[in-house]
Structure 1
Amino acid sequence: MSDQPVPSTDPAAGPLPEGIAAALKRDPAGLVAAIIQQHDTGEVLMLGWMDDEALQRTLTSGRVTFYSRSRQEYWRKGDTSGHVQFVKSVALDCDGDALLVRVEQVGAACHTGTRTCFDGRDLGAVVSAH
């Protein structure tokens, strides 16, 4: 079950604050990677992409909004699945090219129905003794 996009304009959100916009280092498509993490356990749930508008919606609505690279439209996690991500905090990394969004995840984070997008995908790396 996939989440449907929210309308492409949200007048309540307004523009991204200048200081935040200036600190972001976007890819050539204008996007920044957003790592989504369960706020109380530290569990990494998924990775999504945000442009300035998606980030502003996330910062001002209390819900996570992404920009879909394949569909080229906005979508808010949980609007159709009910698997909502309630924002607890948003931080920018030291390089300005990634976001850490800490959330309260309701239900599965992955579109496949699993808790995280990383369940069952271990690549069998050699584990260091240190």
Structure 2
Amino acid sequence: MDRFLIRNNKKPNDGTQNSEPAPKKKKYDESSDKVRRYLSEYLGLGFSATKSDPVNAQCVLCGQVLANSSMKPAHMNRHLITVHPSHVGKPIEFFKGKQEAFASNCLEIAKVASVSSKALRASYAVSYLVAKQKNRTSSPNV
């Protein structure tokens, strides 16, 4: 049992040394990666193109964005089967409608979520006046 626990760190030294240098590790080069392009057939699998660079695929049903390296029909089909099994085999018109609805929802959310600049300035002005006063509890008086 001891022979498994004790390491023998001695290297055989026969008088010859290895004169070859150790191979250098290659650095990762991002530019050598293949950049995949979005194809219109991907909409039939439930994915539309994003507006980022490089273009990624975004699911029109749940909004999940796949990496550019995952823009393969097999990956998209696997997502559709595992996450949205009820939508497998739907026609492309169904996914076009979902894409339009998804885009309009994104625009509506952007409109609702944005704060007008005048309201933001007023909020900062009020908070500045409250901070200038010594009594911190006088904010209702401002």
TM class, shorter-length: under 0.3
Larger helix fraction of residues: 2
- Which has the bigger relative contact order, CA under 8 A and spacing at least 6? 1
After TM superposition, the score normalised by the length of structure 1 is 0.23
TM-score, normalised to structure 2, is: 0.21
Task: Please state which structure has a larger fraction of its residues in strand.
Answer: 1
